[in-house]
Amino acid sequence: MKLKPKNLSNIIIATLATLLTLLIYFSLITKNCTLEYPTTINPSEEFCLQGYYLLPNHYTINSTLPIKKEVKDKITILERYDLFAQTICLKPTTLLPENKEYTLNLSYINQLNLPIFQKQIKITTKEYPQVKGIHFEQKINYDHILKYETNYSSNLLNYHILYNENSVPCNQEEDYILCDISDLNLEQGNTYKLQLIAKYDDEIVNELDSKEVEILISVKIENSSIENKAVIQTPSIPEIRVELNKEVEKDFLITLEDTDKNPIPFEHLLEEKEIVISPTEEFKQSTTYYLKINNLVGLDSSHMDNEYTLEFSIDDGPTITGTNISSAFSISNNIVLTFNQNIKEPQDIKNIIKLNSSTNYTYYISKNKITINPSSNLNRCTNYSLSINKGIVGTTTLTSTKSNSYTIKTSCKRTVYVGTSVQGRTIYAYYFGSGSKKIIFYAAMHGSEANTKSTLNRWITELETYNSRIPTDKTIIVVPSLNPDGVAHGTRFNTNGVDLNRNFDTTSWVSGTYFANTYYPNGGGAYPFSEPESVAIRNLINKESPYLTLSYHSAASYVIPSGTSKSIELAHTYCQLSGYAYVSYNASGAFTYDITGDFGEWSREHGYNGLTIELASAYSDEFSRNRTAMWKMVEE
């Protein structure tokens, strides 16, 4: 069917009218669809256009403003096509400069680029956020959280507290900025200027505040009437005083409990800068307690850094802390027990302390000591048992709950006076064993050779420790220091200037002697045995008639026999066991000077077996080197 010209004309006119109506509609929509929008925005905030937007995804925003568009409050059909919306929101994708005007072109079907489909919107950015309130004082704690209130919040800005080159980040909660200054490590008692700054991309864009603050000195506990970890020797503690560095508020927390967290009742009182804790019941023996104080706040608003803990214990009754018991206890000594606290008087100690089950004794108490006085001398070289049972009561009513026992080995040596030096120093000989065959060891004939005295002192300890090794037919006699004056003054000679090893009555004795390259007119003494020290050793040898006498010197590393056949035999044995060189009694050149009136010659002329032992060192006692050889001489 063909259309009549009139009908065709009507269709064309209707179509043009429809198109014109649509153009006018969309023009009006673009020009007038936006009903409301902000004229000023924050440099980082999202802002929205309110209106009526048909097919909202066809709207385009053209501007130098870096933004991201989001359609909200929309009607969607078929779950994918946005038909209508009331809100188009724009969010800056970067921090905008402050106080700057921007023009936004809202276009519908941007490809047509027709002015009738466009609308201009002008907006201006505000200043960056400013502080409108500071919620802290000028005096603060070193770990204070600073609180600032701003006129608005910005999600693109990062805030920091700055001091010199140090800074700490802050948190933003709505319109508040919270800054923990703990990590600035500000020293207490000092004043600091702190700056609140805003950063974007690690660059400072704004300083919001600059303020001087004084860091308060924390509340500290400076002292207490009980030392930490103290062991207290009474169950009754009327009060514990804790001294503070400043006055504090009355509200704080105190706990007092034992290791098992059992609470101890108490009362407390705050007296200016002191807290007085008064327990209302006695503590228990042998128990540890903990006093804890928390939440102290100074009157200046300072606070304590950490919980304060005072640890103390109640003692377990009198406990032995020392005795005079030695490895070679003297048979005439009293036994002294020292305790950690004073002992109550009177009390029956004999029911608690037993000496060898049957040995009778008396005792007396003096403060923290109990002295046991055996009724008679103890037997020599004997083991005694000392048992201390629990039950000893201290002056603070604490009672011992533990037992102790000791083995007391009495000394085996017998001490004998054998002479006196020129200056009146006593010369002692120490006897071990009780056999008929006797051997004498002596040393320090020359005072400058004091290391030989140390050798024989160690030999005395050896004989005490291993007394059972001494053969039953032997008696060992030890004189560690024949020349005590020379040892005291560090000189070879005695106080009269006589070399004692040149003062023996021998065929070769002369008054004038040599040592090294020096001549001593009186070196041999005024006459043989003119000196009390040489007389002492002579008399001892003559009295005891030993099968062998050993004289120790230093430091030639020799063993020299007196010249008897037995002494020669024993000298070779001593050399083999000690490593010293054997030198014959009649050898020439062993020393660089003449030797007259000496012990070895006197022993030979009187038929005594004698050895002169020259240590290799002038300083070391070399006991370990000589030990085996010395025991061998005893066992001959």
Q: What is the pLDDT of residues 346-391, one digit of tens each?
A: 999 999 999 997 889 999 999 999 999 999 999 999 999 999 999 9
Rounded mean pLDDT, 516-524: 92
- Common-topology check for domains 5-121 and 414-635: no
Q: Which CATH number does 5-121 carry?
A: 2.60.40
User: Is the Cβ–Cβ distance between 385 and 368 less than 8 Å?
Assistant: no
* pTM summary value: 0.60
Alpha carbons 443 and 452: distance in angstroms, whole number:
6
**Has residue 1 got a pLDDT over 50?**
no
Under CATH, domain 131-215 is a member of which superfamily?
A: Immunoglobulins (2.60.40.10)
What confidence category does residue 343 fall into, taking pLDDT thresholds of 50, 70 and 90? very high
For residue 176, which amino acid is it?
Y
> Which sequence spans correspond to the domains of the chain?
5-121, 131-215, 221-314, 320-409, 414-635
- How many Å apart are CA 118 and CA 23, to the nearest integer? 13
Q: Model confidence over 441-500: pLDDT tens digits? A: 999 999 999 999 999 999 999 999 999 999 999 999 999 999 999 999 999 999 999 999
Q: For residue 449, what are the CA distances in angstroms to 134, 422, 548, 567, 617?
A: 86, 18, 22, 23, 10
User: pLDDT at position 17, please?
Assistant: 58
Q: Helix 623-635 and helix 451-465: axis angle, to 10°?
A: 60
Average pLDDT, the chain: 91
Residue 239: how many CA atoms within 13 Å on its side-chain side? 11
Q: How confident is the model at residue 3 (pLDDT cuts 50, 70, 90)?
A: very low
Burial class from Cβ neighbours inside 10 Å (0-12, 13-18, 19+) for residue 376 reads: exposed
Which residues on neighbouring strands pair with residue 582, listed in sequence order? 559
Q: What local confidence, expressed as pLDDT, does residue 85 receive?
A: 87
Structure tokens at 249: 């508020």
The architecture (CATH level 2) of 221-314 comes to Sandwich (2.60)
| CATH pick for 320-409 out of 2.60.40.1220, 2.60.40.1480, 3.40.50.2300, 3.40.50.300 | 2.60.40.1220
Give me the CATH code for the 414-635 domain, please. Answer: 3.40.630.10
